[in-house]
Amino acid sequence: MEALGGYPTKSPSPRARVLTVLLCMAVGAGCLFLLQTRLLRPRKPEDFYSFEVKDARGRSVSLERYRGKASLVVNVASESAQTEPNYRSMQELHRELATSHFNVLAFPCGQFGETEPRTSRDIEAHAKSTYGTTFPFFSKIKIMGSEADPAFKFLTDSVQKIPKWNFWKFLVNPEGKVVRFWRTDESMDDVRQEATALVREIILKKRVEL
């Protein structure tokens, strides 16, 4: 066989053809594997409402149900010296600001001494019967160390602080971003003021959109 310029060309050997085919197949398989890996890889949650958690009965719950609202997320405990004043003030705020725009979300934690010895269901029942709480309780979690709950870790990573005790409070906006946090000993009046202002923003925005 001759090329256009009149010079003879050498046909590839059968061995070379086989190697070329095998190389193409290997490259194709590699590309397909990378594509599948990227498509199947779970997407990293981008905000607090992107996570799934367990409720007090151990059932999976998507936090998407709270998107569009303001949320006060709190690590709670039943036997802390701060339990009664916090539960009562949190319930009052939960009732005042209405669940259509705001929720207190309680995450029990047993990592601070013996302040939370109960099971998740008992924690919720005790808070309801003793303090009249109506806000959601979730399953007891860890918020420190390698076993920290991913949703709560998102909060602590956002503020670059890990709670030193019970009843740290994280204010999450309608888009799932942390906008403020308060330590245990900080005034609930400040929490109320900030949460109320955020709820007002939500209401005004909805009125403009109508």
| Same domain, residue pair 5 and 70 | no
Are 53 and 107 in a shared domain? Answer: yes
Distances (CA, A) of 172 to 49, 70, 80, 148, 195: 9, 6, 24, 19, 9
Together in a domain, 160 and 73? yes
Residue appearing with tokens 């599948």: 36
Mean pLDDT score across all residues of the chain: 88
- In terms of pLDDT, which residue wins out, 45 or 164? 164
Judged by DSSP in three states, 200 sits in: helix
- The reply to whether 32 and 72 lie within a common domain is no
Pairing of strands 102-108, 70-76: parallel
In a shared domain, residues 19 and 83: no
Are 1 and 67 found together in one domain? Answer: no
Please list, in sequence order, all residues whose beta carbon lies within 8 angstroms of the beta carbon of residue 145, skipping any fewer than 6 positions away. Answer: none
Ordered DSSP codes for 39-54: HHSPPPP-SGGG-EEE
Q: Are residues 16 and 94 in the same domain?
A: no
pTM of the complete model: 0.79
Residues 139 and 101 in one domain: yes
Instruction: Write the pLDDT tens digit of every residue in 98-112.
Output: 888 999 999 999 999
> What tokens does 23 get?
């190389």
**pLDDT tens digits, residue range 182-209?**
999 999 999 999 999 999 999 999 889 8
Q: Tens digit of pLDDT for each residue in 28-73?
A: 555 555 555 454 455 566 899 999 999 999 999 999 999 999 999 9
79 is in which domain, residue-wise? 48-209
User: Which residue type does 106 have?
Assistant: A
Q: Are residues 96 and 131 in the same domain?
A: yes
Mean pLDDT value of segment 84-99: 95
- In this structure, the answer to whether residues 143 and 55 fall within a common structural domain is yes
Judge whether residue 133 has pLDDT over 50.
yes
Q: 121, 128 in Cβ contact below 8 A?
A: no
Number of domains in the chain: 2
Angstrom distance (rounded) from CA 190 to CA 168: 13
Residue 115 · residue 166 · CB < 8 Å: yes
CATH assignment at residue 188: 3.40.30.10
Say if residue 83 is in the same domain as residue 171. yes
Residues 92 and 124 in one domain: yes
Could you tell me whether strands 52-54 and 169-172 are parallel, antiparallel, or unpaired per DSSP bridges?
Answer: unpaired
